[in-house]
Amino acid sequence: MTPLDTLAPDQRAVLELVLRQGRSYGELSELLAIPEREVRARADAGVRALAGEPAAGVDSGRIADWLLGQQPDGDAERTRAAVARSDDARTWAAIAADRLGELGAAVPSAPARPDERPPPGSSRLGGAIMIAVVALVVGAGLLWIFVLRDDEEPAATAPPAATETPAGAGATGNDIVLEGPGGSQAQGLMRLVTRDDGKVQFAIAAQNVPPNRGRDVYAVWFTREDGRPRRLGFAQTPVGQDGILTTGGPQQGDEDEFPRWFATYDKVLITRETSAGARQPGPVVLEGTLPSG
């Protein structure tokens, strides 16, 4: 199932033709024999269904037109500037751009505020360094945020059960940088931590992750070309508007096998899932290369 499959048929048809065939609203008006304003309305409704309803005062139709490449250059630049001036518009545009990006669409990235200027030498790597610091804290104190066992339903709001990490736990030096695909701004880090009893755990921290919507949950997978993917579990704490994701593991009962999996699989994925019984990774939000990859 893709995000498009969750849409009403009329919304899905418009977005598929725009995203996958590069059609304009005018072309779709002729093709579908409906007024252009109806095509635009369906596109707007489809993007809102993917990204959620925006805050009051946010012109979702204008932003959807911009993200879908339906505005002339001048109008597109004015829309970008308007989005940059509004915190609510920037937040919703970032979520919408990320959801459309999951479909393989090349969409503009949400702009920064006009008064935001990156410090000298800043880059995506700089953000990853910040995440590394967060992950170090996670490794020291947040490893009680465990993923769920396979036979449990993902918890949307229930707080995680606290299981203290033994004192003296330390990083192993195996840090995996996580990047969002297709120009996504999501980035994070997976860090391994060894407990006093010799067991190895992992902590994941990430930023700029789209908030959970509806029954969406985030899952952690290991994958390799010559084998089936292995789902390590689901993140129990939902991602909010701050875009921060934290989770850890492995699940109870998997501690002995986890180091072998880490050493023999190629990729670690963070995916968006709608089913607790997922057997294949859903849309990828973050990915990283494991040592054997």
pLDDT digits (tens, 9 = 90+) for 231-276: 988 887 788 888 888 888 888 788 889 999 999 999 999 998 887 7
In a domain? residue 117: no
Please indicate, yes or no, whether residues 30 and 157 belong to a single structural domain of this protein: no
Sign, Cα dihedral of 105, 111, 112, 113: negative
Whether pLDDT at 226 is above 70: yes
| pLDDT value of position 215 | 77
48 and 161 share one domain = no
Q: What are phi and psi of 93, to 5 degrees?
A: -65, -35
CA max distance for the chain: 69
If asked whether residues 138 and 233 sit together in one domain, one would say yes
Summary mean pLDDT of the chain: 77
Phi-psi region of 22 (alpha: psi -120 to 50; beta: other; left: phi over 0): left
Helix, strand, coil % over all residues of the chain, rounded to 5:
35, 20, 45
- pLDDT of 161: 34
Least confident of 83-92, 109-118, 199-208: 109-118
pLDDT above 90 as % of the chain: 24
One domain, residues 191 and 233: yes
What values do phi and psi take at 32, rounded to 5? -95, -5
Q: Are residues 172 and 263 in the same domain?
A: yes
Q: Domain count of the chain?
A: 2
269 Cα distance to chain centroid: 10
Question: pLDDT digit string (tens) for 14-47?
Answer: 988 888 788 899 999 998 899 999 999 999 999 9
Range of the structural domain that residue 97 is part of: 3-101
CB atoms near residue 190 (< 10 Å): 26
16 and 48 co-located in one domain: yes
Q: Is the pLDDT of residue 209 over 60?
A: yes
Tell how far CA 186 is from the center of its chain.
Answer: 6
- Tell me: do 94 and 128 sit in the same domain: no
What values do phi and psi take at 21, rounded to 5? -120, -5
With respect to residue 23, please indicate whether it lies within any of the assigned structural domains. Answer: yes
pTM higher than 0.75 for the full model?
no
Q: Which of 19, 15, 44, 7 is nearest to 182 (CA)?
A: 19
DSSP code of residue 253: T
CATH number at residue 262: 2.60.40
Q: Give the helix/strand (H/E) hosting 288.
A: strand 284-289
